Amino acid sequence: MIADDVFGPRFMTNKLSQKQIPARQRLILALDVPDMTAAKQLVDDLGDSVQFYKIGLELFMSGNYFELIDWLRARGKRVFCDLKFFDIPETVASAVRQLKDRGVDFATVHGNDTMLAAAAREKNDLKILAVTVLTSLDRSDLESLGFQCNVEDLVLARAKKAIKLGCDGVISSGLEASRLRDDLGDRFLIVSPGIRPVDNCTEDDQKRVVSPTQAFLNGADYIVVGRPIRDAQNPREEAERIQAEISALFPE
């Protein structure tokens, strides 16, 4: 058990984030599109309705990844590099060194203790987020991978280790955010993917999902939304609808 005086009070009653984050930056758009042309078009279409973008493996493999980072930064956008570094510790450290001076805000590591520690050692102002359990996995998936525990316990155990090792926060479903806040307090970031508005519950590969409001009430600092905005008939209108939902929780 981690001492309460390190991470804050146990069993917090108000889990809504108190961090000084502009409300409109709490929405992160998952820019999961095939190439840079499509990425630029979506960013232009969304305009000022989205200020923070996550770019991952699909765009990395398409080429022009760093050019896209520079393009987003030149337009005043915040950038989250979701490459889930997993390699020998020195390689992870080298990858973070390559990234930390490019104006990127967040980067993910999906590895063991030595990998997380190596990333944290090199981060400077780049915030390192540890992946706990992918939101595409549920209890049966974990059992098939050899984990004999429930999802919530595994998320908590990994989050405790990540914070002790110097990571700035975790990637966690909003379903587990409440337990993380109860046990670890509020001195770290929770970024929650797998967000599905209540009127957008179509079947896809995300299994542990919550609505934007519920994720924040459970203690998330940021939410990551992809398909519900990207595949909407009017992506900008849907982004603004979610922004209005967020602003109601975090009035400025």
Whether residue 84 lies in the annotated active site? yes
119-141 b/e (C-beta count within 10 Å ≥ 16 → b) = bbebbeebbbbbbbbbbebeeee
Q: Which residue among the candidates 84, 100, 160, 164 is catalytic per the annotation? A: 84
Helices and strands of the chain, counted as H and E runs: 12, 8
Consecutive H or E run containing 250: none
- The whole-angstrom separation of Cα 167 and Cα 161 is 9
- The whole-angstrom separation of Cα 181 and Cα 177 is 6
Is residue 204 a contact partner of residue 227, using CB atoms and an 8 Å limit? yes
* β-strands 169-171, 127-131 pairing: parallel
- The whole-angstrom separation of Cα 172 and Cα 223 is 10
| Nearest one of 238, 207, 165, 192 to 17, comparing CA atoms | 192
Burial-class residue 237 by CB neighbours within 10 Å (0-12, 13-18, 19+).
exposed
Q: Angle CA(18)–CA(120)–CA(32) in degrees, nearest 5?
A: 70
Catalytic residues: 84
